[in-house]
Protein backbone atom coordinates (compact mmCIF):
# COMPACT_ATOMS: atom_id res chain seq x y z
CA UNK A 1 0.00 0.00 0.00
CA UNK A 2 2.21 2.80 -1.23
CA UNK A 3 2.67 5.35 -3.96
CA UNK A 4 3.75 4.11 -7.40
CA UNK A 5 7.51 3.63 -7.72
CA UNK A 6 7.80 6.38 -10.30
CA UNK A 7 5.55 8.83 -8.45
CA UNK A 8 2.00 9.86 -9.20
CA UNK A 9 1.15 10.45 -12.87
CA UNK A 10 -0.87 13.62 -12.19
CA UNK A 11 -0.31 16.75 -10.16
CA UNK A 12 -1.26 16.27 -6.51
CA UNK A 13 -2.46 18.55 -3.75
CA UNK A 14 -2.23 18.17 0.01
CA UNK A 15 -4.09 15.03 1.03
CA UNK A 16 -6.43 14.55 3.97
CA UNK A 17 -9.62 12.62 4.61
CA UNK A 18 -10.73 9.04 4.45
CA UNK A 19 -13.15 6.65 2.84
CA UNK A 20 -15.93 4.86 4.69
CA UNK A 21 -16.71 1.33 3.54
CA UNK A 22 -20.03 -0.19 4.57
CA UNK A 23 -20.40 -3.56 6.29
CA UNK A 24 -20.85 -5.65 3.16
CA UNK A 25 -18.23 -3.71 1.20
CA UNK A 26 -20.77 -2.72 -1.46
CA UNK A 27 -20.81 1.01 -0.92
CA UNK A 28 -17.84 3.25 -0.33
CA UNK A 29 -18.22 6.88 0.63
CA UNK A 30 -15.46 9.41 0.06
CA UNK A 31 -14.56 12.20 2.42
CA UNK A 32 -16.17 14.60 -0.11
CA UNK A 33 -19.51 12.76 -0.02
CA UNK A 34 -19.21 10.97 -3.37
CA UNK A 35 -20.11 7.30 -3.11
CA UNK A 36 -20.62 4.23 -5.27
CA UNK A 37 -24.17 5.32 -6.04
CA UNK A 38 -23.54 8.93 -7.08
CA UNK A 39 -20.48 9.65 -9.20
CA UNK A 40 -19.04 6.20 -8.52
CA UNK A 41 -15.29 5.54 -8.49
CA UNK A 42 -12.56 5.42 -11.08
CA UNK A 43 -10.14 2.56 -11.28
CA UNK A 44 -6.44 3.35 -11.49
CA UNK A 45 -3.62 0.99 -12.35
CA UNK A 46 -0.74 0.29 -9.99
CA UNK A 47 1.10 3.26 -11.53
CA UNK A 48 -1.81 5.49 -10.53
CA UNK A 49 -3.23 6.16 -14.00
CA UNK A 50 -6.96 6.19 -14.55
CA UNK A 51 -7.94 3.14 -16.56
CA UNK A 52 -11.43 1.79 -17.21
CA UNK A 53 -11.90 -1.89 -16.37
CA UNK A 54 -15.18 -3.59 -17.19
CA UNK A 55 -15.10 -5.88 -14.18
CA UNK A 56 -13.42 -3.56 -11.71
CA UNK A 57 -10.18 -4.46 -10.04
CA UNK A 58 -9.43 -6.97 -7.32
CA UNK A 59 -5.70 -6.24 -7.46
CA UNK A 60 -4.56 -4.89 -4.08
CA UNK A 61 -1.71 -2.95 -5.71
CA UNK A 62 -4.13 -0.83 -7.74
CA UNK A 63 -6.18 2.18 -6.69
CA UNK A 64 -9.65 3.66 -6.51
CA UNK A 65 -9.81 7.34 -7.41
CA UNK A 66 -12.67 9.68 -6.51
CA UNK A 67 -13.50 11.57 -9.72
CA UNK A 68 -15.06 14.42 -7.74
CA UNK A 69 -12.26 15.44 -5.37
CA UNK A 70 -9.31 13.44 -6.74
CA UNK A 71 -8.58 11.48 -3.56
CA UNK A 72 -6.72 8.21 -4.15
CA UNK A 73 -7.34 5.12 -2.03
CA UNK A 74 -5.29 1.91 -2.28
CA UNK A 75 -7.37 -1.16 -3.13
CA UNK A 76 -5.57 -3.08 -0.39
CA UNK A 77 -6.81 -0.58 2.20
CA UNK A 78 -10.37 -0.71 0.82
CA UNK A 79 -10.47 -4.50 1.04
CA UNK A 80 -9.27 -4.31 4.64
CA UNK A 81 -11.68 -1.53 5.59
CA UNK A 82 -15.01 -3.35 5.27
CA UNK A 83 -17.28 -1.82 7.92
CA UNK A 84 -14.53 0.68 8.64
CA UNK A 85 -12.55 3.57 7.16
CA UNK A 86 -9.31 3.94 5.24
CA UNK A 87 -7.17 7.04 4.73
CA UNK A 88 -6.59 8.58 1.31
CA UNK A 89 -2.90 8.30 0.37
CA UNK A 90 -2.86 11.00 -2.29
CA UNK A 91 -5.13 13.57 -3.82
CA UNK A 92 -4.94 14.43 -7.47
CA UNK A 93 -5.36 18.01 -8.57
CA UNK A 94 -8.65 17.73 -10.46
CA UNK A 95 -7.66 20.86 -12.44
CA UNK A 96 -4.50 19.23 -13.80
CA UNK A 97 -4.99 19.04 -17.60
CA UNK A 98 -3.46 15.54 -17.67
CA UNK A 99 -5.99 14.37 -15.07
CA UNK A 100 -8.90 15.99 -16.91
CA UNK A 101 -7.76 14.42 -20.19
CA UNK A 102 -7.55 10.91 -18.71
CA UNK A 103 -10.82 11.33 -16.81
CA UNK A 104 -12.56 12.38 -20.03
CA UNK A 105 -11.15 9.30 -21.77
CA UNK A 106 -12.20 7.15 -18.80
CA UNK A 107 -15.78 8.41 -18.87
CA UNK A 108 -15.85 7.84 -22.60
CA UNK A 109 -14.66 4.25 -22.21
CA UNK A 110 -16.88 3.57 -19.21
CA UNK A 111 -20.09 5.43 -20.01
CA UNK A 112 -19.83 6.45 -23.65
CA UNK A 113 -19.46 10.13 -22.80
CA UNK A 114 -18.25 12.31 -25.68
CA UNK A 115 -14.52 12.98 -25.87
Name which of 66 and 112 has its Cβ closer to Zn ion.
66
Instruction: State the nearest-atom distance from the C-beta of 41 to Zn ion, in Å.
Output: 9
DSSP annotation of 82 reads T
Residue ranges binding Zn ion (CB under 5 A): 30, 32, 34, 66, 68-69, 71
Instruction: State the nearest-atom distance from the C-beta of 69 to Zn ion, in Å.
Output: 3
Name which of 15 and 110 has its Cβ closer to Zn ion.
15
Rg (CA), the chain: 13
Amino acid sequence: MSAPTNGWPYATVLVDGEITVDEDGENQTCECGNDSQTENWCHATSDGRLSWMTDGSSDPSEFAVCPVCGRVYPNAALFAAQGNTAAAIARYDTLDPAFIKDLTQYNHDAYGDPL
